[in-house]
Amino acid sequence: MSRILIKNIKQLIQVRDNAPLTVKGSDMAKLPVLENAWLLIEDHLISDYGLMPNMSLDEHEATQVIDATGRLVMPTWCDSHTHIVYASCRQLEFVDRIKGLTYEQIAENGGGILNSAKKLKNTSEDDLYGSAQARLDEIISMGTGAVEIKSGYGLNTESELKMLRVIKRLKQSNSIPIKATFLGAHAFPTEFKNNRSAYVDQIINEMLPQIAEQKLADYIDVFCDRGFFNPEETDRILKAGEKYGLKSKIHANELDFSQGIQVGVSNKALSVDHLEFTGDKEIEALLNSNTMPTLLPSTAFFLKLHYPPARKMIDAGLPVALSSDYNPGSSPSGNMSFVLSLACIHLNMLPEEAINAATVNSAYAMELSETHGTITRGKKANFFITKQIDNYQFIPYSFGSSVIERVFIGGKEI
Ligand code: NIG
Ligand code: FE
């Protein structure tokens, strides 16, 4: 049995003997920390921890001893919303937006998601797998230890299945947990612009049965927003997914008060994501639900949208999760430390709230609460060790620089 002992940890962050499913409201500002601590990993699990003066283990009993003097240890980030399977980047649209076009105007002209779908159609499964694996390696090195990945750049049966098969391969060949989400309802293909219900029918009657039969998805998603899928279409698709046992995680209220939050809640969505347009009615709906509101501040940053009202949501008693939305159009980065910086700077979240959002609450949004998101005995040993820094507040403060020195997944250093 491998036994890794990490000693002299300056701060062991997010330590919870009994980890909660979610952290909400005023509890989000509470982050449990052990100062001057040790952590023991046995094989792939967290086995024990405590304060240095009370270390229960003789160092000679460990197969490896790591001296973390001056360093912090914390659970890896959980990133519950990404689109990292894609064929190519979209930096020319980035330039178009600098010149004044909006994200929606670019989409209406056949750019955006449709542009990604065109490229993906002509890219082989192996090439998609290779580039997605490189992105996965990149985010793991930046401290992510659990991730959700969506389809949605296929927009026809063949290409959606191709994307989901790539995600399945990624699941099989990586040690971090990966959840797959079917997002056929990401945009209407041009040929269905005037016959929207025919595309919804194709999603429901053609794509879903094959995806379910081949067990290619854990969740179903719809982009419910102005110019994309309306609440009625969203409701039809989510209900069809539920028949196949797929819980929903939806894109909602990014571009307008789209009713997406309400449709998600009424379909018992696991999470509703984006939420730039969230008012009192939306907060009320979320308060009476088990749906995790998930904020993606790097998208609001990159598209220069106004930021979601995180403060109002937390002060009303809600939990919030944070994720990267890593994708080629609206957030070409999966750097969760930067997402935390944006949450603190633009969402006015405290570092404690941002860390809870990116660990416990984001694990909940992938149904990984039992195994990930906290330093708890018996959970997976997915954690990272920082460089020498004073405290955890330094992580969001030092935006753009990497403070993560060593990453462990399932007890193995990456
Ligand atoms: O989460 N909002 C919808 N979908 C993605 C963007 C996809 C794209 O532009 O390629 C998002 O932001
Ligand atoms: Fe997204």
Same domain as 225, residue 167? yes
In the predicted structure, residue 389 carries a pLDDT above the cut 90: yes
State in Å: Cα 107 to ligand 2 middle: 15
- Within a domain: 369: no
Same domain as 104, residue 18? no
Ligand with minimal distance to 249 CA:
2
By most ligand atoms within 8 Å of CB, the mutation choice from 80, 150, 223 for ligand 1 is 223
Main-chain dihedrals φ then ψ at residue 117, nearest 5 degrees:
-65, -40
Residue nearest to atom 11 of ligand 1 (CA): 330
User: What's the whole-number mean pLDDT along residues 259-285?
Assistant: 98
Atom number, ligand 1, closest to the C-alpha of residue 86: 10
Structure tokens at 261: 């939050």
Same domain as 343, residue 401? no
Class of residue 316 by CB neighbours under 10 A (exposed 0-12, middle 13-18, buried 19+): middle
State in Å: Cα 82 to ligand 2 middle: 6
Predicted confidence band of residue 63 (pLDDT cuts 50, 70, 90): very high
- Within a domain: 47: yes
Q: Taken in order 50, 142, 129, 325, is the CA torsion positive or negative?
A: positive
Is 251's C-beta closer than 6 angstroms to any atom of ligand 1? yes
In the predicted structure, residue 110 carries a pLDDT above the cut 90: no
In the predicted structure, residue 9 carries a pLDDT above the cut 90: yes
State in Å: Cα 152 to ligand 1 middle: 9
Same domain as 266, residue 385? no
Rounded distance between C-alpha atoms, residue 73 and residue 81, angstroms: 24
Q: Are the beta carbons of 137 and 175 closer than 8 angstroms?
A: no
By most ligand atoms within 8 Å of CB, the mutation choice from 82, 327, 331, 333 for ligand 1 is 327
State in Å: Cα 405 to ligand 2 middle: 28
Percent of the chain at pLDDT exceeding 90 = 96
State in Å: Cα 394 to ligand 1 middle: 30
Average pLDDT, rounded, for the chain: 97
Spell out the alpha helix ranges (H) of 82-146.
91-98, 103-108, 112-121, 125-141
Ligand with minimal distance to 224 CA:
1
In the predicted structure, residue 64 carries a pLDDT above the cut 90: yes
Atom number, ligand 1, closest to the C-alpha of residue 254: 2
What value, to the nearest 5°, has the Cα angle with vertex 249 and ends 125 and 195? 70
Give me the pLDDT at residue 140, please: 98
C-alpha 169: how far from chain center: 19
Same domain as 212, residue 199? yes
Main-chain dihedrals φ then ψ at residue 231, nearest 5 degrees:
-60, -35
Give me the pLDDT at residue 103, please: 87
Same domain as 22, residue 154? no
User: What's the whole-number mean pLDDT along residues 157-175?
Assistant: 98
Is 275's C-beta closer than 6 angstroms to any atom of ligand 1? no
State in Å: Cα 274 to ligand 2 middle: 8
State in Å: Cα 342 to ligand 1 middle: 18
Helix (H, G, I), strand (E, B) or coil at 94: helix
Predicted confidence band of residue 151 (pLDDT cuts 50, 70, 90): very high
Atom number, ligand 1, closest to the C-alpha of residue 103: 9
Same domain as 327, residue 398? no
Predicted confidence band of residue 150 (pLDDT cuts 50, 70, 90): very high
Is 297's C-beta closer than 6 angstroms to any atom of ligand 1? no
Rounded distance between C-alpha atoms, residue 322 and residue 54, angstroms: 35
Same domain as 154, residue 16? no
Structural domain boundaries enclosing 147: 77-364
Parallel/antiparallel/unpaired status of strands 64-67 and 71-75: unpaired
Same domain as 201, residue 55? no
State in Å: Cα 150 to ligand 2 middle: 8
**More confident site: 340 or 109:** 340
Nearest to 181 by CA among 50, 269, 96: 269
- Within a domain: 170: yes
Is 254's C-beta closer than 6 angstroms to any atom of ligand 1? yes
Residue nearest to atom 9 of ligand 1 (CA): 329
Structure tokens at 53: 């003066």
Rounded distance between C-alpha atoms, residue 334 and residue 316, angstroms: 29
Structure tokens at 234: 């969203």
Same domain as 249, residue 211? yes
Give me the pLDDT at residue 211, please: 98
Is 112's C-beta closer than 6 angstroms to any atom of ligand 1? yes
Predicted confidence band of residue 120 (pLDDT cuts 50, 70, 90): very high
Q: Are the beta carbons of 330 and 302 closer than 8 angstroms?
A: yes
Same domain as 210, residue 286? yes
In the predicted structure, residue 8 carries a pLDDT above the cut 90: yes
Same domain as 311, residue 169? yes
- Within a domain: 168: yes
The number of distinct structural domains making up the chain is 2
User: What's the whole-number mean pLDDT along residues 255-260?
Assistant: 96
CATH number at residue 383: 2.30.40.10
